[in-house]
């Protein structure tokens, strides 16, 4: 076991996958000599060569389109999109091409590509550098979307994503890259299920559901609730497409109250789908409506006021108070 930041855990996961399979390669702007804007690929070009860690032009559609072609020739490409707000030029390649190849060819052709996408805010960034665009992709059949909340999970998820026969978007919480450290077992096999949620704190009165950067916020809220005499269960989704409904529903039925939190805007967000399905499937077990704590329905704000936009512990606690009042 070693102590790693989330950034270094992803680097280690990439390196392990590349060591184990010489068909794994990385492609993206400035990922080679520079090591990526967040230094995730730092040292990988020196270790594996420029033919496997390739600097690309600033052309996201070209990066993903090239990766799709490589995948059809037997490679396992890992694309890096520098920032969340830059993914949209590749939207057509992801939605209309990569996600549909398996269905279109009745399984004869697949697109086992990984798209690494730093996302989320509260890092003092400028416009287009603090987005949470997951809801644009989650309704897309054939596309998997995962996001880690700890260094250990980041190490595991990146390897599982590379091993998947489907295209996978790995949403990497950029504010946790260098601020969150944790123990990582570098010898542990990445053998878990890619789309399996985890109950990271047991509780009995209310379920707090989140993913990526929100999980630490929910855990902090659960600690405050414990000090106040309340028991909160925290579920880390890990996969937001598909969702592990069995774990989500079991926790909802157990506690009878559910709060869903994410940084993305409220309307049509992941939380809306979670709330709808939980209330459809667990209606008679619920003691209160499923409540959402989210970002606001507005463009991501300037860095001076972004802390008012990102869901906080206080906002989560206010939602819990509402749920317990029913």
Q: Hey, what are 153's tokens?
A: 């999970």
Rounded Cα gap, residues 322 and 223, in angstroms? 18
Nearest-CA neighbor of 80 among 128, 16, 160, 25? 25
Can you say whether residue 303 is alpha, beta or left, with left for phi > 0 and alpha for psi between -120 and 50 degrees? alpha
Pairing of strands 114-119, 53-55: unpaired
Active site residue 262: no
DSSP state of 120: -
* 3-state secondary structure at position 135: helix
Q: At what angle do helices 313-324 and 214-227 cross, to 10 degrees?
A: 60
Count of other CB atoms within 10 angstroms of residue 239? 21
Please identify which of the residues 128, 129, 178, 230 carries the catalytic annotation: 129
Tell me the catalytic residues.
Answer: 129
């Amino acid at each position: 076991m070693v102590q790693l930041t989330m950034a270094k855990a992803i680097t280690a996961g990439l390196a392990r996958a590349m060591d184990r399979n010489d068909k794994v390669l990385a492609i993206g702007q400035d990922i080679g000599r520079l090591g990526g804007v967040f230094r995730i690929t730092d040292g990988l070009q020196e270790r594996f060569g420029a033919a496997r860690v390739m600097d690309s032009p600033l052309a996201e559609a070209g990066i993903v389109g090239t990766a799709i072609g490589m995948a059809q020739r037997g490679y396992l490409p890992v694309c890096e999109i520098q920032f969340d707000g830059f993914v949209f030029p590749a939207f057509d390649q992801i939605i209309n091409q990569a996600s549909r190849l398996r269905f279109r060819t009745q399984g004869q052709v697949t697109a086992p590509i990984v798209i690494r996408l730093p996302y989320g805010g509260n890092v003092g960034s400028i416009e287009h550098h603090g987005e949470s665009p997951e809801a644009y992709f989650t309704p897309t059949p054939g596309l998997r979307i995962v996001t880690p909340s700890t260094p250990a999970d980041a190490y595991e998820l990146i390897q599982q994503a590379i091993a998947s026969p489907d295209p996978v978007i790995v949403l990497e919480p950029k504010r946790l890259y260098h601020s969150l450290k944790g123990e990582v077992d570098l010898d542990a096999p990445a053998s878990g299920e890619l789309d399996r949620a985890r109950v990271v704190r047991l509780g009995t009165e209310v379920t707090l559901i989140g993913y990526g950067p929100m999980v630490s916020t929910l855990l902090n809220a659960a600690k405050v609730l414990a000090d106040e005499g309340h028991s909160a269960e925290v579920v880390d989704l890990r996969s937001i497409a598909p969702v592990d409904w069995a774990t989500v529903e079991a926790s909802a039925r157990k506690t009878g109250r559910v709060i869903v939190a994410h940084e993305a805007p409220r309307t049509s967000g992941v939380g809306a789908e979670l709330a709808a399905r939980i209330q459809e499937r667990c209606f008679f077990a619920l003691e209160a409506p499923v409540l959402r704590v989210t970002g606001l329905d507005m463009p991501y704000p300037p860095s001076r006021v972004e802390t008012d936009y990102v869901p906080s512990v206080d906002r989560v606690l206010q939602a819990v108070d509402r749920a317990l009042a029913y």
